[in-house]
Structure 1
């Protein structure tokens, strides 16, 4: 009887702590499943535009256009008008020069008369070369149209094609801070509505771009809006579950991203024209707006803002969805926990970015973690952006490298973390990524392309695993007072690496091994530096 009385006393105690309230109404129920899909949908949507450039901006084989020879078969056009040159050890037709001062009109007339065998020797004696004078012709066997073929981004303009991805990453950096601030001020739900609308409008409009400048401007906006949508939705998912289940939201969002990564190849295979591809991965984004009518504002955010009536209304919706009775003894009271930094003179202030480097220990942790974030992003985007150029089937190569995200996020990385801990896991995954790039750089014969694809897939496994460990390790190494700032600076370094990655890949046009060597050096350095981190 006494035991029963104690239970009643405990049950009557007012609940005013948010996590305790969430526990009472369900911290992993049907409502959390909805929040999980909301968070996953943001990552899923972002994946399409993060990684579509290998198809959207692909550079096919190209050669100088000679109008007089357009009736001739492709191989004949090249034989008569395009010089041979050595490229990375292979002898190929030049992509940017042609023979000039040859009588191509006479050659075309001989072809029409069926007497090409009578081409005079004097025709071949003129070997004077010049840059393409009438534009280019492109091999359409891979893509019928890309940014490169539409606006002739070749022969000195390759950097413009690479800039499409860099502009997107620049937008993501701006979006992380701009929409992140908005989400803290106006709420998660409202931010996702606004960013999703901008995301859908700008991405769909990009498929109708009349010129490259317009496409770049829209690509910048797409990057900012995608960051706002993904980050705010992810935070909503994290805030909707109990502390013990937040890692599941993170893993789920990563798996949703991998699914989007895979589906990019399917869309690219169906839609070979870049405009149709961009439209296909954009128009459905308007469906994200439906979430506004399904979910309430984040109860945790409302609680932190002191909007208790709205918070209680949202919590009652959560309880109803979880089929839980809303407890009568809930007494919402805001706990004003202002995490502040105490300075040497005894005063306290809000934390800022300087606190990441204020003490020797924090400086060491910050510099090493920034190196990890930069490295994993450069290796990941370097391999992903180059995936369509590996192997004989670009679509299959892309899919294989995307599929590795599933086991890399779960369960392989989870097992590595369980048995090796954080520090060795981070070092090992960095070494896996670096070692694969090292072996890819070896001079493999053409018939062994499958080996290159396999090595690249292993590299993507390492990069995915390193990213997962990085996320967990960053949250554990930084104290609560600077944890959000630590994550923000880490993501900034990752986006900066993503901005540079297209130009690093572009170096492969001049030396196949150079981009890979850069990745190897960074990965080895990151692996060694990880060993100097403390084990939480």
Structure 2
């Protein structure tokens, strides 16, 4: 039998999958800390010049340089530590850019490695790197040291986050993939909110770096608890090991079956010959050689890009919700939760394709409507702006969640991590481009956000529905339609 048939006998989402998924998914809180703590670690505090005979002049506009700068806020950051003010203030935002570039490269590196050597090894390699870079960043003595470590840290976050999602979703039944995938996003959103609280309690940037990194050390003990992904083992032809893990899952799920009841189909001689003639690993170019997989990947890459531009663009406006940066960050995470609840309730009812299209179209329309709401038009207009912005954020957050789940189902098992890595790369590029739109003004910004979200929602109708469909194992399955995913 194939893997999905065996999984149905083992239990599609029993105690075994629940424990494994919970342990891995909980990493999302710490990954969120790494992603957003730069909002405080690189935050610019208020400062003034304490040189004699200076009468309140703006420090950055003084004719003579100030020799004694005093930072007056109650928190510290790399800005106060390395004096990144005035002509040097661009370096604080440059760290964020370097971090995002690291996230991009991490996905490209971890994805193929996860497909080649396994989910478990790449997951714990990322955890080790995350703990090391986060803790060491709190000990740096120069700006260049800190920037380099944040680049490596970003790579570890991008790669580890990808493996967390794949591991959490590929060994549950088709009817539970939405729940498993959505919980990854929910935990990450809660991590964003929790980071606001952590930063409120810890105002020193070095201590905040330590607090964000030390918990990763405790996760290393899970190496002797978490098994390798049985679906990955089966896709690599390690059927005996996959069957052994499936049988253990069945016992934990209290399923009364024999090991022979979940025997996976062995390849025939003809299929073995075909497999020998094919390359063992799938390169990124393979996604564009044949028509079905090419159409899927082009639409997915554009959708990930559009979701990221709109999501990051609206998130960067979170500070406008209130004057308290800690509360604003917490709200920017909590506002995503209703979107994820909607995904859990509706995704298995109306399907992936309709949900993705509907959410992105909703977010796009909300952004376009913001064009017609004038600034400084009174409290009622401000309330409408806030409401539309939140609707846009919830819409694109739900769309982002759907495309994560959808892409993992559209990609073949043999190259699932690689496909997701390519998609996340386009998302990182979108996230880096989003800040470049803001200087052109709100009208242009919301026009771009709205059109991107709308066009991605419309193009999603060209993708096949995957609701309650078995996952394709190879690109040939997609091209030959043997898995009937279209």
TM-score, scaled to structure 2: 0.81
Asked if 2 retains the 8 angstrom alpha-carbon contact of 1:54 and 1:388, the reply is no
Asked if 1:17 corresponds to 2:2, the answer is yes
Asked if 1:224 corresponds to 2:155, the answer is yes
Q: What are the Cα deviations for residues 36-86 of structure 1, in whole angstroms up to 9, with x where unaligned?
A: 2133123222111112222121123344x14226xxxxxxx6xx231xxxx
Give the SS at the match of 1:60: coil
The structure-2 alpha-carbon separation of the partners of 1:348 and 1:303, relative to structure 1 and needing over 3 Å to count, comes to: closer
TM-score, scaled to structure 1: 0.74
Give the number of the structure whose alpha-carbon radius of gyration is greater: 1
Asked if 2 retains the 8 angstrom alpha-carbon contact of 1:365 and 1:477, the reply is yes
- Report the Cα offset of residue 353 of structure 1: 4.1
Structure 1 partner of 2:472: none
Structure 1 gaps of 5+ residues are 1-15, 70-76, 83-93, 99-129
Give the SS at the match of 2:19: helix
Structure 2 partner of 1:470: 403
Structure 1 partner of 2:462: 534
Q: What are the Cα deviations for residues 151-191 of structure 1, in whole angstroms up to 9, with x where unaligned?
A: 22222333311122221222222221222222222222222
Asked if 2 retains the 8 angstrom alpha-carbon contact of 1:166 and 1:498, the reply is no
The structure-2 alpha-carbon separation of the partners of 1:365 and 1:526, relative to structure 1 and needing over 3 Å to count, comes to: farther
- Report the Cα offset of residue 315 of structure 1: 2.6
Asked if 1:176 corresponds to 2:107, the answer is yes
- Report the Cα offset of residue 17 of structure 1: 2.7
Structure 1 partner of 2:441: 514
Deviates more, 1:32-41 or 1:228-237: 228-237
The structure-2 alpha-carbon separation of the partners of 1:410 and 1:186, relative to structure 1 and needing over 3 Å to count, comes to: same
Structure 2 partner of 1:61: 46
C-alpha distance in structure 1 between counterparts of 2:379 and 2:253, whole Å: 58
Q: What are the Cα deviations for residues 429-473 of structure 1, in whole angstroms up to 9, with x where unaligned?
A: 431562476479834779998777655544432331221233355
- Report the Cα offset of residue 215 of structure 1: 0.9
- Report the Cα offset of residue 336 of structure 1: 4.9
The structure-2 alpha-carbon separation of the partners of 1:437 and 1:197, relative to structure 1 and needing over 3 Å to count, comes to: farther
Q: Which of 97, 100, 107 is residue 61 of structure 2 equivalent to?
A: 97
Give the SS at the match of 2:231: helix
Asked if 1 retains the 8 angstrom alpha-carbon contact of 2:36 and 2:192, the reply is yes
Structure 2 gaps of 5+ residues are 465-486
Give the SS at the match of 2:400: helix
C-alpha distance in structure 2 between counterparts of 1:398 and 1:213, whole Å: 27
Asked if 2 retains the 8 angstrom alpha-carbon contact of 1:356 and 1:366, the reply is yes
Structure 2 partner of 1:418: 350
Asked if 1 retains the 8 angstrom alpha-carbon contact of 2:112 and 2:415, the reply is no
How many residues align? The count is 456
- Report the Cα offset of residue 370 of structure 1: 3.1
- Report the Cα offset of residue 250 of structure 1: 0.4
The structure-2 alpha-carbon separation of the partners of 1:500 and 1:151, relative to structure 1 and needing over 3 Å to count, comes to: farther
Q: Which of 496, 499, 519 is residue 432 of structure 2 equivalent to?
A: 499
Asked if 2 retains the 8 angstrom alpha-carbon contact of 1:422 and 1:473, the reply is no
Structure 1 partner of 2:65: 132
C-alpha distance in structure 2 between counterparts of 1:137 and 1:441, whole Å: 39
